[in-house]
Structures are given as structure tokens and as C-alpha cells.
Amino acid sequence: MGKRNFSPDDRPPVRFMDSDELAYVATRAREVHDFWHVLFKLPTNLIGESALKMLEFQQIHLPMCFLSVVGGTIRLKPAKRDLLLRTYLPWAMKAGSSCDDLMCIYYEKHFHEDLNEVRNKWGIIPAPSVHETNTMR
């Protein structure tokens, strides 16, 4: 996040929630999304966002996550769509269903820990790198 000069605090507040509690949950889900980019080594481009939304769908089962994947997939050019469908979405389905329940973690208590140790503790499978996907074909 520091490399991209981004902070979760920069996001606009959540709107259209029926209660303060729901607004908090929605805000926290946004923050967790940003942490997951780091934990799963996903870029913030359309492929990375789509893969992360599939992973979120595996974790929290919200239809909007899956709909985001469909919308993102449509916007990709054929070669990138193929990469997403053949590599990143299958990875995201496996990674999202095999790791711990990541919505229930107090991430801020783990910022001082080694990133790879945290990944191992929570069963996180980092995304394949672009280099790895090029050698898989």
C-alpha cells in the first residue's frame, strides 16, 4: 500500500447502510480487501481485482463478489481473459476455500509479524506470478 501511495483511510465513507453496525462491517470488509492484496500477492489491476473478488466469494459467499468477477472478465481482452479464467480464478477458488476464515482476523495485531509466517499460519496460498503463469503453458 505504501508503494502505491494508498491508505484505506482515503476511501469515502460507506453509504446506504441501515445501521452503524452494518456500516462498520462494510467498512471493515473494504479494509480487509486491501490487506488481502498484500497477503495473496495480488496486483491492483483488473486481473488482480477479479481474482481477489473470486477469493472473497469463496470466503464470504456474497453474490456481489461473483458479479464483480463476471463484470471484470467481460472487460478483459482475450489473452488476459484466458489468463484469468485458466490460472487466476482456479487459484482463487482453491486459495479462498483452503485458508482460514479471514474476515475474523484482527490484522492490526499481526503487523509486526513476518509476512510469510503469517501466510503459513493462516493457510494462505499466494497468487501465481506472471512469470510462473508464462512457464505453465
Gyration radius of the chain's alpha carbons = 15
Mean pLDDT of 41-66: 93
Provide the pLDDT for residue 18: 81
The residue with greater pLDDT, 20 or 12, is 20
Does the pLDDT of residue 62 top 90, yes or no? no
Give the dihedral of Cα atoms 51, 130, 91, 8; nearest 10 deg.
-40
| % of the chain exceeding 90 in pLDDT | 62
The residue with greater pLDDT, 26 or 100, is 100
For 17, other C-beta atoms within 10 Å of its C-beta total 14
Provide the pLDDT for residue 28: 83
Does the pLDDT of residue 11 top 90, yes or no? no
What CA–CA distance (Å, rounded) separates 58 from 75? 22
pTM, to two decimals: 0.82
